[in-house]
Amino acid sequence: MLTKRIIPCLDIKDGRTVKGVNFVQLRDAGDPVELAKIYSDEGADELVFLDITATVDKRKTLAELVTKIAKAINIPFTVGGGISTVEDVKVLLNAGADKISINSAAVNNPQIINDMALEFGSQCVVVAIDTRNVDGIDFVHTHGGRKPTLLQTQAWAKEVCDRGAGEILLTSMDHDGTKGGFANEITAEISAMLSIPVIASGGAGNSEHFKDVFTFGKADAALAASIFHFKEIPIPGLKAYLNSEGISIRN
């Protein structure tokens, strides 16, 4: 079994880390640079930084904050929010990001996935998919989950893989912030379909949920926010538990 990854996520609004439930009811969760350093020191495998209002506010991700975080950590670092051009990617990679994450821009102009993969390599391009189940069908949402589309999630995941994305960050909006467990069914379905890694996001509430998403959900990585931000599950303890359960994890 390939080593599974644990990834804390910093959702950033106005320069602060925030966390909500089902993409709303945001509350402050602390200083992103301080949190990033803690996670790096605790043994997180990667860090994801999402400027959650960048697309909505029609402005670019805070490159200055990206630089500060990159200097504070020594683990791979993915940045998303408001990225829509090859030039945007160059700015963020120069600021210290290792990978970039796109969502709304990819839906609006799928060719941008091909262009970015060609320019920077597939390993640099993460496509985030925010999905919600509507009457039994999984649909993609954009603009921080505010805008439903007619794209079916599974078909879109296949397309972004075919276009050269190196990884998919799959967030279940129905599970986000609920702490009731990850969306294992759709995660497993998409993982089985694709040749690229799938990061599961949305719903982590305890250590068993991570075990479940790695086994039943077939995820390559699991991302969480509030349980780490509010010290409900320490990363070293989570990794020790997963190791004891036979999950291959980096120590």
Catalytic residues: 11, 130
Long-range contacts of 235-240 (CB under 8 A, 24+ apart): 235/6, 235/8, 235/39, 235/42, 235/43, 235/44, 236/42, 236/43, 237/207, 238/6, 238/207, 238/210, 239/6, 239/43
Q: How many CB atoms lie within 10 A of CB 230?
A: 12
Bridge-partner residues for 10, per DSSP?
Answer: 49
Q: Name the residue among 61, 47, 114 with its Cα closest to residue 89.
A: 61
Helix, strand or coil for residue 49?
strand
Q: How many CB atoms lie within 10 A of CB 188?
A: 18
Q: Residue 155: which H helix or E strand, with range? A: helix 153-162
Helix, strand or coil for residue 205?
coil
User: What's the CA gap between 242 and 246, in Å, rounded?
Assistant: 6
